[in-house]
Structure 1
């Protein structure tokens, strides 16, 4: 399989993942996502989850629909989004909040290591890595 097809599959997969996660923010996993909102966020946990759900749906849709001209920019925005929500994962670990089956310190700690993977996925699948540029 050539690199551009792998990138496209990765980009579409990440986009679909974000759309489903965003829908979860608004519906079936709303309470679970509230466990990740740090106490220092100045708006209610529910509003934060709803707003971030809309952002994830928009970002996922953008990844799915991005053309060659905008693909790299959308990938950078997705990576920045994953970096921006990382404090929520840290808060979930630090405050020992259960959510999404993360019901132990070791599980919550392991979750922290997935955020850089999501960032790399966003960048790699949109051609933002130097080895991807031709």
Structure 2
């Protein structure tokens, strides 16, 4: 049963990252206002995140790359959190995304869940049911 849940979550996450990655690549300038000032080359960074999202989605669906993809997508979600925080705190308006705390509050609170999701659906962790079972390196 757990493996079926992981599979559904994996496909859902991959679909989410394909849509997000396409958005970053097709409309990078739309994301510029939420990039923190300390990030160098903001437009190029947005394009790079789009590529990372697409690569992560494909890797998540690839058995040999799944574990790596889960870890990298979890780290990715952690790394983009400052943009989400800036978006919320500075009240940056990015249509069609709502700019109220009814949107930003849950979005910010969901970021740790997104990190967990990447790790769980890739089989890196089993929490809340326990630790992930050790894997035979040949099966990765």
TM-score, normalization by structure 1: 0.84
Q: Which of 54, 57, 62 lines up with 1:57 in the alignment?
A: 54
Q: CA deviation at 1:106?
A: 4.3
Structure 1 residues 31 and 108: CA distance shift in structure 2, 3 A:
farther
**Aligned residue number for residue 20 of structure 1:** 19
Residue equivalent to 2:92 = 97
Correspondences of 1:1-134 after superposition (within 5 Å): 2-27=1-26, 29-43=27-41, 45-65=42-62, 67=63, 69-99=64-94, 100-130=96-126, 131=130, 133-134=132-133
Give runs of ≥4 in structure 1 deviating > 4 Å. Answer: none
Deviation of the 1:48 alpha carbon: 1.9
Q: CA deviation at 1:111?
A: 1.6
Residues in 1 aligned to 2:53 and 2:16: alpha-carbon distance in whole angstroms: 9
**Partner-residue secondary structure (3-state), 2:22:** helix
Contact in 2 for aligned 1:82/1:119 (Cα 8 Å) = yes
Q: What stretches of structure 1 of length at least 5 have no aligned partner?
A: none
| CA distance in structure 2 between the aligned counterparts of 1:3 and 1:132, rounded to whole angstroms | 13
Aligned length: 129
RMSD across aligned positions (CA): 1.9
Q: Which has the higher contact order (CA 8 A, sep 6+)?
A: 1
Q: Deviations over 1:37-81 (max 9, x none)?
A: 1111121x322211111111111111122x1x5422321111111
